[in-house]
Amino acid sequence: MDASIFEKYFKDLCKHTKVHLERNNQQDRPVIFVMDNAAYHKRVEGLKGGIYSLRKAELVEWMERCKATDEEMKVKGQGRRTEV
């Protein structure tokens, strides 16, 4: 499975769930979807292959293109990294 197939599946699942709940007069019932950590569950727009395929320098470059704030650019235990 890839992200586009999963997204179509998930949209269809949400529509079906909504219809089912409305049909059974349970629109106020909470619904929880639990997902694992599969790569296709977390596609990032503008990144082919997702975050996990990037080297650190590529990730920093992408974050800068997305205008990430200094706080978002922090590396755990360090300040903003300008050299990679």
How far, in Å, CA of 82 to CA of 84, rounded? Answer: 7
pLDDT at residue 84, as a whole number: 46
Given a cut of 70, whether residue 75 has pLDDT beyond it is no
- Encode pLDDT of 22-52 as tens digits: 999 999 999 999 988 787 777 777 777 777 7
Q: What is the pTM of this model?
A: 0.56
Kindly state the helix (H) or strand (E) to which residue 20 belongs, with its residue range.
helix 3-23
Three-state SS at 83: coil
